[in-house]
Structure 1
Amino acid sequence: MALLRRTNPLGIGVILLVVALWQLLAVVGPFADFSSLPSPTEVVTGFRELVETDSLVQPVLHTIGVALTATAIGVVSGGVFGLLLGLWTGFRFFTGSSFDVLRTIPVVSIMPVLLLVLGAEMRTEVIVGAIASTWPMLVNTTDGVRAVHPRLGEVGRMFRFSRMKSVLRLTLPAIVPSLLVGVRLAAVTALIATIIAEMIIVPSGIGWSLITAQNSLQIGQEWALVVVCGWLGWIFNIGLTTVVNRLQPGQAR
């Protein structure tokens, strides 16, 4: 019932209208002669072919597994360095600029380097996703710590908390919303980086299935995989948004 209450009929109607318009234009419209733009019915056929040949489940599970592993690594590393940058002025003074430079480097540009150094292995794919997911977690954690009200420090001093105890009992609870938003962004970023890494580095997962469908001119299957990528991103976003909303202070359980 809760899911039905959150359903947006107007949004669903817009999606159905777009699909119907796509079908019309692909069959009798200006895109009818475009061999690289199949109709929705051809995409459904491609999806069915992927399911019937067992070419969908394993790549999807591989991509999800790598993305979740990379997210876990990125959340831990980004959270730790974000806390250090936010809490200790000295650490931020000596390393802040370095982090700012590193996080502006597109992860795609370092994939060939990682391929040469580590080889076409699953660990390379995980490292790519972890690097990509570290930065949103780091930025959100750092900003959350620096936005904590100074009076929390006064409370810690009044109760004679040690620095560590003050961080654990006062700072961390105060930055929970920022941490949860960082986790959400890190997970989606890791998924995107994982799919790209599968296209360039590791011949597996949804990314490699897309390349295979493209090379074999299976346009319907290729677009079906594109839709699957969109579904995965949507599921990641909806799931993490639900978790964030439930874990944030003041939200209904």
Structure 2
Amino acid sequence: MSALASVGRRVNWPGIAVIAAVIVIWQIGATVGPLADMSSVPSVTETVKGFGDLWAANELIPPVLYTLGVALLSAAIGIVAGGLIGTLLGLFAPFRLFTQSSFDVLRTIPITAIMPVLLLLLGAEARTEIIAASVASTWPMLVNTADGIRSIHPRLDEVGRMFGFSRLKRVFKLTIPAAMPSLLVGGRLAAVTSLIAVIIAEMIIAPEGIGWALLTAQQALQSGQMWALVVVCGWLGWLFSLGLTALVNRLQPGGVK
């Protein structure tokens, strides 16, 4: 009974209640409400049927696995690249002086504007998707890492000097752990950005994954299947954020084990 009580306390019942209310409103609105005359907005039951049709035709799991694999790889590349560059920007004023303006200009270019260029240069291949999504996911990690490191109080570095830590040891033992909350936010944003970029790239660059399945369902006027895939995209984004949060909580000092 204690285990069940513990699980019950961890469940976000108000959040579940909101989701249930949204589902009920969606179903009523799409059947007898203001959305009933819109053929592009299916009811909840039609969306569930769309799930079943995709599953029966084996058109759900393969696209999800493809998109998930590309997004995870792209997010990992973006997090590592953004973390390294952001750390350099936060630690070294000369590097920040000469490069920050260039990074600020580059990160304002929409990734959708870069995708046709990459498609022309590299072709409709998986590597083109990975490069596009990696670039998109680099920027949130870079910005949050640089800001997190620069916001650390200088006295923390003085503490490391008092203990005789080398510069590298101060970075890994003091600076990065102190900036971990900002790194976590950047990593979560990078992961979700990677997923979004991959889905868009699948519509523009390579006919694979959830993005292509969405486009195919739209062109075939299969609104139930299309909205089912939209729900899957939401689930994947939530799982990305949840998984990364759990990973960082386990790795950072004082995190939940």
What TM-score does the superposition give when structure 1 sets the normalisation length? 0.93
Instruction: Quote the Cα distance in structure 2 between the aligned partners of 1:230 and 1:159.
Output: 47
Q: Which residue of 1 aligns with 2:195?
A: 191
Q: What residue number does 1:141 align with?
A: 145
The 5 Å alignment of 1:95-134 reads 95-134=99-138
Which of 209-218 and 149-158 deviates more? Answer: 149-158
Contact 2:217/2:225 (8 A) holds in 1? yes
SS in 1 for 2:39: coil
For residue 211 of structure 2, give the secondary structure of its aligned residue in structure 1: helix
What is the distance in 1 between the residues matched to 2:14 and 2:165?
A: 53
Q: 1:54 aligns with which of 55, 58, 71?
A: 58
Post-superposition offset of 1:194: 0.8
> Which residue of 202, 206, 215 maps to 2:219?
215
Whether the aligned pair in 1 keeps the contact of 2:177 and 2:252 (CA below 8 Å) is: no
Equivalent in the alignment of 2:179: 175
Change in CA separation of 1:62 and 1:148 when aligned onto 2, cut-off 3 Å: same
Q: Which deviates more, 20-29 or 84-93?
A: 20-29
Contact 2:47 2:228 (8 Å CA) reproduced: yes
Contact 1:177–1:248 under 8 Å retained in 2: no
Q: Cα RMSD over matched residues?
A: 1.7
Unaligned runs of 5+ in 1: none
One-letter amino acid of the counterpart of residue 107, structure 1: I
- The size of the alignment, in residue pairs, is 253
Q: Measured at CA, do residues 245 and 20 of structure 1 come closer, stay the same or move farther in structure 2, by a change above 3 Å?
A: same
- What letter is aligned with 1:35? S
Counterpart secondary structure, 1:31: coil
Q: Is the 8 A contact 1:199 1:207 kept in 2?
A: yes
Counterpart check, 1:44 vs 2:75: no
Query: Which is worse superposed, 218-227 or 12-21?
Result: 12-21
TM-score by length of 2: 0.92
The equivalent of 1:89 in structure 2 is 93
- Does the CA-based 8 Å contact 2:248-2:255 persist in structure 1? no
Consecutive unaligned residues in structure 2, runs of 5 or more: none
